């Protein structure tokens, strides 16, 4: 199950991404927001990132105005590898090299057409493992050090 959420700045792009996910037959759940009223992006980024961190969702997609705020929030959660992407290349690399489990985009940065290509690329890319797996293990080790209060 994929989760998707946005703030008001990402609502229009989130709607386009949801349409694309439906076209691809991908099961997802929208965790908000539902309208253009101003909201705080951390509230929505937390919902998706917490669920991915706990293993309650396979992957997530977050959208805010620039994507910066959502990526900062999501990466606070252990095991979340949120990648702010701007094109097909960064989307592919985020999965192939970093095994990103949360895709983040800027609703005021990307057009719906570009976002569709970005999401398709991210969905279709496969983690390469190998030397990249070793690097992700190092990140997991840092998370554990932080959890234990050693950092």
CA distance 23 to 92: 20
Told to judge if 97 belongs to the known catalytic residues of this protein, a careful annotator would answer: yes
Residue of 8, 64, 132, 133 with catalytic role? 64
Greatest CA separation for the chain: 46
H-type alpha helices, the chain: 11-24, 41-53, 68-74, 88-96, 112-124, 131-147
Residue of 8, 97, 132, 133 with catalytic role? 97
Told to judge if 132 belongs to the known catalytic residues of this protein, a careful annotator would answer: no
Q: Which helix (H) or strand (E) holds 39?
A: none
Residue in 80, 62, 76 with CA at minimum distance from that of residue 118? 62
Residue in 145, 113, 125 with CA at minimum distance from that of residue 83? 125
Catalytic residue ranges: 64, 97
């Amino acid at each position: 199950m994929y989760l998707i959420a946005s703030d008001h700045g990402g609502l229009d792009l989130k709607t386009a991404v949801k349409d694309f996910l439906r076209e691809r037959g991908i099961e997802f759940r929208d965790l908000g927001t539902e309208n253009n009223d101003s909201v705080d992006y951390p509230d929505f980024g937390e919902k998706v990132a917490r669920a991915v961190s706990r293993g309650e969702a396979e992957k997530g997609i977050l959208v805010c105005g620039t994507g910066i705020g959502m990526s900062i929030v999501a990466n606070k959660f252990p095991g979340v590898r949120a990648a702010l992407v701007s094109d097909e290349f960064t989307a592919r690399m985020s999965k192939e090299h970093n095994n990103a489990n949360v895709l983040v985009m800027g609703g005021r940065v990307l057009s719906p057409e570009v976002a569709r290509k970005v999401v398709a690329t991210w969905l279709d890319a496969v983690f390469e493992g190998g030397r990249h797996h070793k690097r992700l293990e190092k990140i997991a080790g840092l998370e554990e050090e932080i959890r234990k209060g050693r950092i």
